[in-house]
């Protein structure tokens, strides 16, 4: 049974999942540091290009199945209009100011 976004342990990760599921690109970007980076399946990607292609232009949605590492590691059933549904892992680096400086995702 998925974990409701509001029940996630880490506030930054909770806001990240909430922004993705609400398709709120502005709220999503506000959660990131100006120099935030990300990777997909082990390869660094252009963050803004990737989030449009994989999340915001294609109805991305995260159903969190499990969390670890104090809420900064997630096992997610992720779906979008391009790829359908897949099991993915997510890991987040969160700065002292509560913003995300890096996230990594990939198939689980």
pLDDT in tens, 30-48: 999 999 999 999 999 999 9
The average confidence (pLDDT) of the chain is 97
pTM score above 0.85:
yes
Which pLDDT does position 1 carry in this prediction? 84
Q: What is the pLDDT of residue 25?
A: 98
Tens of pLDDT, residues 95-106:
999 999 999 999
List the chain domain ranges.
5-107
pLDDT band of 10, cuts 50, 70, 90: very high
* Cα Rg of the chain (Å, integer): 12
CB 16 within 8 A of CB 28: yes
Nearest to 102 by CA among 8, 33, 12: 33
Tens of pLDDT, residues 12-33? 999 999 999 999 999 999 999 9
CATH, range 5-107: 3.10.450.50
């Amino acid at each position: 049974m998925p974990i409701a976004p509001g029940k996630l342990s880490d506030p930054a990760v909770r806001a990240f999942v909430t922004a993705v599921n609400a398709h709120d690109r502005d709220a999503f970007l506000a959660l990131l540091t100006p120099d935030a980076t990300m990777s997909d399946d082990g390869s660094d990607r252009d963050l803004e290009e990737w989030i449009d292609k994989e999340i915001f232009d294609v109805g991305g949605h995260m159903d969190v199945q499990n969390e670890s590492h104090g809420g900064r590691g997630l096992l997610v059933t992720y779906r979008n209009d391009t790829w359908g549904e897949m099991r993915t892992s997510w890991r987040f680096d969160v700065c002292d100011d509560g913003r995300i400086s890096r996230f990594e995702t990939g198939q689980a």
